[in-house]
Structure 1
Amino acid sequence: MLGNTKKKIVSILFIAFVLVLSACTSGKSTPTAQETPATSESVKESGKFPKATTNTAAAITGGTMNYGLISDTPFEGILNPVFYNGSPDADVLQFFYPSLFAIDENFDVKDGGAANISFSNDNKTVNVKIDDKLNWSDGNPVTAEDYAFAFEVIGNKDYDGVRYDTSFMNIVGMEDYHAGKAKTISGIKVVNDKEVQIDFKEADPSVKSGLWSYPLEKKVFGDIPVADMSSSDPVRKNPIGYGPFKIKAMVTGESVQFEANKDYFHGAPKLDGVNLKVVNPNVLIESLKKGDIDLASFPNSLYDGKNVPTNVEFLGRQELSYDYIGFKLGKFDKAKGESVMNPDAKMANKELRQAMGYALNNEQVGTQLYHGLRTPATSLIIPAFAQYHDDSIKGYNYDPEKAKQLLDQAGYVDKDGDGLREDPKGNKLTINYSAMSGDTISEARAQFYLQNWKDVGLNVQLLDGRLQEFNSFYDRIEKDDPDIDVYGAAWGTGSDISPAGLYGSKASFNYSRFVSEESDKLLAEGVSPKAFDMTYRKDIYNQWQQLMIDQAPVIPTLYRYEVQAVNKRIKNYDITYGGSYDVLSAIELTSETPVK
């Protein structure tokens, strides 16, 4: 996927529910009527959240909004879309380095953003025209050269980021450039100061929603070796963007002070500035009540419809993301740019993976920890992509008896009578599970899953005996740490339906390192010229969804409902998908101080 970059998402859980699942981890984890609360104020409630603030009071002039980045982990500080890896950094980027493109309700690019696109009759050529008024916050214009330069950096053999994938390879001349056989990308032409033409080998319907959408200022980065860019000052210390706000001061990992970009191409934002700070989820409710935070994503685990702050308004929408369990099946060969499966990997047995999926009681996790604001996931294409999500697929519903049957059939049986299964060769089997920290409930969720697996006779242990901090977790996953057998993570999908950027054999984000000729064929067909026919594309993606459930290299666990807490002094904030391009610049305040 080229445009809406995948974002790793930390699972944020809340301390108040530790005892709920801890009680379940002491023995069998089958839920009882006493353990499972009513859901009338959870799933049903989710559809009642408005998508825009209802504050109609008169706005003051200017003012500063306080934004809470909710995490127990500092943001890494890779503040450039070409290089960043994680969700916390994306939260910072949204204020000063947005996508060039506006999107409609179907997540396709529409006019009205910082750049517009047009297609040739055969859909193999795209012209990107940047708004004449769009400037970098250092005063230089955002040029066609800057946009083309981003492709040159990502396609460079020394690029150390994770954006280069099959979608970039579809650009004419990109593979020769990447291999060092050409000094330029023949399929990218600078038409004039503000317009770029991109030629593709094959027409790709994903370009309508997934075209790479971030320029890179050539005057700033042009003299920096590509291999050194991600650690350079313009990324880490003094990042520059073109959004409605610009960075005035920053304590990396902790806080950012933004000021209004008075030269923003759509006009100066209504606010004077934004103060962003990292807020631990354990103190979020108190921070909201005190008025320390005006706007923050509100963890599903905290919302019970009753004990929530009364000085905030809650907005909600279905989140473009899902939680999943992944199985390490090989390694990524950087020299070849592709995943290579290991037939002797501990998790290579498909029935073992399937059994681990059936062993998980995600219904109970979604209900008890997340109040129904997360629900069992059945497919790797989320329901928000309604045109392509196959709701006939049932996924891995909780079925411990089926899990046991699969394990028995595959030769994973308890041979020494200790209640734990050995592998088919009769050897002791210990599976290492890596999970991210969030707060103390993250531990409870991980332990609950460990108990689910123990209930079917599998000895699954938490890697290193503890949760992994966000940045360390993904560093070890990306480097294919041999100590990791299974991992629990999440993906933000972005707006592009194509899953090729996550699961293609050449995709560096394919963390399970699953390789399948059939999967690659279907993923290629999903972005082929034939796929401009939506019926054809839907059929292809239905086949792919079923294949991935059958093969189980990863198992989707939970779909998410996004809730945002907004202080009642905020006006004109709308999170509707396909709404205004200038969501953040339109925000106003109706009082000098937060409502408490």
Structure 2
Amino acid sequence: MHVRTTNNHTAIKGGTLDAAVVSNSPFTGTFAPEFAETTVDLNFAQFGLEPLFGVNRDYTFNQNGAATLRLNRHARTATIKLRRNVRWADGHKVVAKDVEYAYEILANKASNSSRYTDALANIKGMAAYHAGAAKSISGINLPQGDNGRTVILHFKALKPGMKRTGNGYIWEYAEPYHYLKNIPFADLAKSSRMRSQLLTFGPFRMTKVVNGQSVRYARNRYYYRGMPHLQHVNVETLASSKATAALKAKKYDVVFGMPSAQYTHYRRTSGYTMLTDQSMSYDYLAFNLGHFDQKTGRNVMNKHAKMANQKLRQAMLYALNVDAVVKKLYPGTRTRGTTLIPTAFGRYHLRTSGYTLNRTRARKLLDEAGYRKGKDGYRTDPDGHKLTVHLAVMQGDDTSDAMYADFMQQWRKVGLRVRLTTGRPIEFNSFYKMVAANPATIDIIAGSWSLGAEPSPMALYGPQAPYNFSRFVSKRNTQLLEEIDGSRAFNDGYRVAVFKRWQKYMLNEAAVAPLTYGVTVLPVSSRVKDLSLKPDNHWDDVAVTSASR
């Protein structure tokens, strides 16, 4: 298993890196992190988009990035200090107001950013600003003024995860206030300045965007770490059906999102190294239990929802043979998921068998809950009415279609009639817009999450989390989530124990359940040098050692 390229040849001067992102739909072009909702868009943006803080290989923050971060538990503050030489790609300095402005984008009601969560509301004054009760965020202080280099965040409480990237409590990006200030918050998400004309301070700058298809980058001559090795980066979309053939034809230097189902066909492709690592991602089933109230910013459960019966949900999970599906369709690239914290998180993961195939138990649970079989072999609901469960899945490939077809066959064996919402897989860009609305036409959501390095589940399963697509809310769930992020959890042993209690609780509630854990596979051309899957990878370090593949 390689996590870093092994090419030791001398790098050539300049050169162009040709990259592809596998997607069966055009990218949306929502590149700004405050609005981006898909891994596809972020994969296109990564060459210019750089976080403020440096990160070690263990995902903890270091002092080597565009800014430093220091926590003060006594004062309950985080102090961000920008380096003097950090500039946007137009030459303007990155200043304190740029950091504050990113928080304003997230929290302003008119922005309608789904990135605003319970975690960010931990900053003092954030909730008041979000509600429109304040014109500024009182908990963000700029002691040297807008054009200074220091930002102090005042929190209601410091959280143990704040020392790690992806924690959700500290936003890791800045936005160029001088470039965006005249655009109303309500128009930002659709503005070309947040999309095809995105201004960043990373190693490369966007020079050309063909909507939905490709992005071209050139060096950012103001980059604070120095001139990048590569002169250009070209990135384009690649249909999953063409991915393996493109690799064998040596069309690209690196391909993001290679279909795991095709792994056996491309893993030994000549001229490439397969970088692999445990993935902090999982596929899941979420049962539709309510809706998200846009006015209150809270998830609301509906006790009359079709999937409100816990035994029905548990039965549907026991009816699946995920082990057999993984062995047949995803050999070597996926394993059956057992909890909502993947094994990649080490000691935070609860070792348990989770839901394994047990049709006898599934049938018993359904019988106990009053779901009786009719003459047609299908079960009715407890009131004797016809029961049809609608499953929403996103458009994928033949392998994912085969997986969901298998699931529906397995559910048929325990007497449950399950049909696809809209009768077919839903186009990628439309999928999350649809499921976020929790329409009555969706009873189960089949989705996937790529997680940050901080395992706190608050941003995905908290009472105010827009991404809590099941809309499951309970006092016990909120209590456990708050304990995971509470002051006592600075003791890591205590935090690990609460993590495991939360996973056990969520398994029993069965509002959301994991399907599979992934393995990251990144095919990289043998001419590429100094590329790594680890978080300390920098695109300005990446080079090529020959002019062609």
- 1:506 equivalent to 2:458? Answer no
Aligned to 2:238: 279
- 1:264 equivalent to 2:220? Answer no
**Could you list the runs of 5+ residues in structure 2 that have no partner in the other structure?**
none
Residues 331 and 163 of structure 1: is their aligned pair in 2 closer, same or farther, counting only changes over 3 Å? same
Aligned to 1:460: 418
Please tell me whether the aligned partners of residues 66 and 274 of structure 1 are also in contact (alpha carbons under 8 angstroms).
yes
- 1:116 equivalent to 2:68? Answer yes
Deviation for aligned residue 1:236 = 2.6
Aligned to 1:242: 201
Matches for 1:174-323 after TM superposition, within 5 Å: 174-192=126-144, 193-209=148-164, 210=167, 211-297=170-256, 298-304=258-264, 308-323=268-283
Amino acid at match of 1:81: P
Deviation for aligned residue 1:230 = 0.4
Which shifted more, 105-114 or 262-271? 105-114
Deviation string 1:405-446 (CA, Å, 9 cap, x unpaired) is 1111111120x3211111111111100001011222222121
Deviation for aligned residue 1:132 = 1.5
Deviation for aligned residue 1:300 = 1.6
Separation (CA, whole Å) in 1 of partners of 2:182 and 2:527: 46
Amino acid at match of 2:380: E
- 1:541 equivalent to 2:493? Answer no
Amino acid at match of 1:169: A
> Which residue, 138, 147, 150 being the options, matches 2:90?
138
Amino acid at match of 1:477: V
> Which residue, 486, 492, 515 being the options, matches 1:557?
515
Residues 306 and 506 of structure 1: is their aligned pair in 2 closer, same or farther, counting only changes over 3 Å? closer
Aligned to 2:324: 364
Q: Tell me the secondary structure at the aligned position of residue 187 of structure 2.
A: helix
Deviation for aligned residue 1:306 = 7.2
TM-score between the two structures when normalised by the length of structure 2: 0.96
Please tell me whether the aligned partners of residues 122 and 155 of structure 2 are also in contact (alpha carbons under 8 angstroms).
yes
Deviation for aligned residue 1:372 = 3.0
Deviation for aligned residue 1:285 = 1.5
Please tell me whether the aligned partners of residues 122 and 203 of structure 1 are also in contact (alpha carbons under 8 angstroms).
no
Amino acid at match of 1:517: K
TM-score between the two structures when normalised by the length of structure 1: 0.89
Greater relative contact order structure (CA < 8 Å, 6+ sep): 1
Deviation for aligned residue 1:157 = 2.0
Aligned to 1:528: 486
Separation (CA, whole Å) in 2 of partners of 1:593 and 1:291: 10
Which shifted more, 543-552 or 362-371? 362-371
Matches for 1:444-459 after TM superposition, within 5 Å: 444-459=402-417
Amino acid at match of 1:76: T
In the alignment of these two chains, the number of paired residues is 541
Please tell me whether the aligned partners of residues 123 and 204 of structure 1 are also in contact (alpha carbons under 8 angstroms).
no
Aligned to 2:443: 485
Deviation string 1:278-311 (CA, Å, 9 cap, x unpaired) is 0011111211122211101332211127774212
Please tell me whether the aligned partners of residues 88 and 222 of structure 2 are also in contact (alpha carbons under 8 angstroms).
no
Amino acid at match of 1:122: H
> Which residue, 157, 173, 188 being the options, matches 2:125?
173
Deviation for aligned residue 1:123 = 6.5
Aligned to 1:408: 367
Amino acid at match of 2:339: S
Separation (CA, whole Å) in 2 of partners of 1:308 and 1:467: 31
Please tell me whether the aligned partners of residues 81 and 93 of structure 1 are also in contact (alpha carbons under 8 angstroms).
no
Deviation string 1:136-194 (CA, Å, 9 cap, x unpaired) is 11211111110011111211122211111111111111122222222221111113311
Following TM superposition, the consecutive aligned residue runs of length 4 or more in structure 1 with deviations greater than 6 angstroms are: none
Deviation string 1:476-519 (CA, Å, 9 cap, x unpaired) is 01112221011110011111211000001111111111111110
Separation (CA, whole Å) in 1 of partners of 2:355 and 2:38: 28
Amino acid at match of 1:88: V
Amino acid at match of 1:184: S
Separation (CA, whole Å) in 2 of partners of 1:531 and 1:52: 33
Residues 86 and 123 of structure 1: is their aligned pair in 2 closer, same or farther, counting only changes over 3 Å? farther
Amino acid at match of 2:69: I
Separation (CA, whole Å) in 2 of partners of 1:252 and 1:128: 35
Amino acid at match of 2:151: V
**Could you list the runs of 5+ residues in structure 1 that have no partner in the other structure?**
1-48
Q: Tell me the secondary structure at the aligned position of residue 78 of structure 1.
A: coil
> Which residue, 382, 388, 399 being the options, matches 2:342?
382
Amino acid at match of 1:561: V
Matches for 1:466-481 after TM superposition, within 5 Å: 466-481=424-439
CA-atom RMSD in angstroms? 1.4
Aligned to 2:293: 333
- 1:516 equivalent to 2:468? Answer no
- 1:497 equivalent to 2:449? Answer no
Q: Tell me the secondary structure at the aligned position of residue 522 of structure 2.
A: strand
Q: Tell me the secondary structure at the aligned position of residue 277 of structure 1.
A: strand
Deviation for aligned residue 1:121 = 4.1
> Which residue, 104, 109, 126 being the options, matches 2:78?
126
Deviation string 1:519-566 (CA, Å, 9 cap, x unpaired) is 011111111111111111112111111111010111111000000001
Give the % identical residues: 37
- 1:373 equivalent to 2:333? Answer yes
Please tell me whether the aligned partners of residues 20 and 235 of structure 2 are also in contact (alpha carbons under 8 angstroms).
yes
Amino acid at match of 1:362: V
